[in-house]
Structure 1
C-alpha cells in the first residue's frame, strides 16, 4: 500500500483580538443614627441604594453586629451584584471607613479579583470591630467608602496582520517581462534599461494608465527615465506587476536588507497606486521595527499617511527600553 501526497494548500493566516477595559466607580454609604444599631440582631444587614458601575447594578450590605458566623464584636460588610447576568468579573479594591475629618483612617480591607453572578456577594465576615467604628464616628453617623473596578471584555477585529487580497492570475503573462516580446516602452533607471508593456502596466496601476492613456498621456516618449529610484527596486516593482509575487524578499536572508527593500518598495507601491503591494510591505515593516530603523520608518509613515505604522513607531519610541538603547548608543542625550 502506498500513499501519494499532492500539493499542499495553505489558507490565509487568521487573527482575533480581545480588548479588556477597566471601569472604576466609588460609592459612599452613609449610615445615620449609629448608636441605635448597637441593638441590631446579629445576622441582620443594612443595604445601600443600588449604584451602577460598568453597566451593572451593585449594592453594599453592612452588618452592624456581624453575620451569624462573624467573630466576637466584629462587623461584616459585603459587595453584591444586583443585575441579572450570568458572569461579571470585578475587583473590590477597598472597603474603607471615613473618619471625622473626611479622610480614610487606618481601617479598611483590600481585596482581589472576584467572579460575580446574579445576587452573589463578596466581602468580609470579620471587617472591623465596633469599637473601631465608634472611634471615627461623627455626630452619630458613619461613612463607608467602597471602590470597585469592573472588567469588561470586548471582542474586536484584529488589525494585524492586514488581510492581503487574493492573488491575481498574472503568472501566465510574467514571461512577457522576461522575454520582452511586444514591449513598447523602456524605463531607464540609474543606467539600467527595463522593457515593459504599457497595456499591462496600465491594467495594474491607475498611475501608469493616466501616464500612458490619460488626457496628459506621453504620446511620443517610448523611453522614460526614472531618476529617484534604485534599479533593484524598480525591477522588483515590475516583477510584482507582471507576476503578483516579490521574489526579492524570499531571496534575502539579512533582516536589515529585507527591511530596506520593504521601505523602498513601500514608497514605490504608494507612488504607483499598488495597494496590495503597499499592504505587503507595510506588514513587513510593522513587524520589524527596532531602534535602528524606527526613525526612518516613522518618517516614511508620516510622509505616506500610513497611520497604523506611524502609531506603532511612536509607541516603540515611547518605551523606556528604546530610550535606553538610544542613550547607550550615543544617539540621544537625556537632560539631567
Structure 2
C-alpha cells in the first residue's frame, strides 16, 4: 500500500508545516586554582562568561560544594538561560576535563528541557559527581585546573510554506574510511560480547564518533581492567552493522533495496535507529529514518510511529501521522488495539493527529 492510496482528488485541502532544526554549540569554562575553590561556602557558585548558542545567551554555574546542604558531598553543575526568551527547548550536557582535555566526569542527557526566562531558568545536575571522587583525581590536575565543557543543543522551530521532502539530506562523512582496521583487527584494544559473538574494536575510534563511548572509555568509570564489554538488549548483526558504520560511515545492507532484502533492511533499520539513538550517532539515525520512510504501510505505520515518538524522530513521526490521516486509512488504523495502546502511553499523539492532520 502506497502513501498516495485513496481518492482525494475532489477534496480541497491546505497544508502547513512547522520545521524543527537543532543548533549545537559548546563552551569551555576553565577554573584555575581548583583546590582553592573547595573552600567556597555552600550554595555559592562560580559562573562562566556568557556564551551564545542558537541565538540565545547562556552561562555555566558550578557549585564546588553542592547547591544544597543535602548535596554537600557532591559538586553541582547547571546551565542558565540568560536571554529574555520563553519556551526555549534545549538539550544540555556536561563533561569535566583536566587541563589536557582528558575527561574526568560526564553527564550526557537525552532529555529535551524547556527553558523560560521568568526566573532565569536553569537545568543541570545537583549531584553531578562526588567531591571525594573528583578530589581523588587531583594528581591528574595539571596546574590545579579543571575545564568544564557544556554542550547545548537548541531546538528551533520555523514556519515554512512547503513541506520538507523525503529523503532527508544526509550529512557527508566526517572521518576517513577505517573499515580495514575493523576487519583486520590491527591494534584493537577492546572486545564487545553480544549474544555470544565477539567483536574487536578500537576505543579511540569509537570515542571519536560517540560521546557515549567517550564517557564509557575515558570518563571516571572507564573500563581499565576488563577488556570484554557485554552489550545487552541488542542482536549481534545489529551491533556488527553499528560498528561498520562507525568505521566506514556506510551500512552495506542498505545498498540492496529490492525483493526480500528490502524487508530485511526495514527490520534492520528499526533496530539500528534504536542503537544510533543509544550511542548518539545522528547521521546513522537520519539514514535509518530515510529507509523507514519508504516502507510505511497499513501494517507497520503504528509501530513506526511509536518508534519515532520514543526516539525523537520528528520527520518520521510527521510522515506516519500524515499517512494515518489519509482517506480510507484513518478509521482502519485508529481502531486497532496497537494504536489504542500507543495512545494510552502517549496521549498527545491523538491530539496532534486530530489538530494537525484530520480536517
TM-score (norm 2): 0.46
Bigger Rg, structure 1 or 2: 1
TM-score (norm 1): 0.49
Whose relative contact order is higher, 1 or 2, with alpha carbons under 8 Å and at least 6 apart?
2
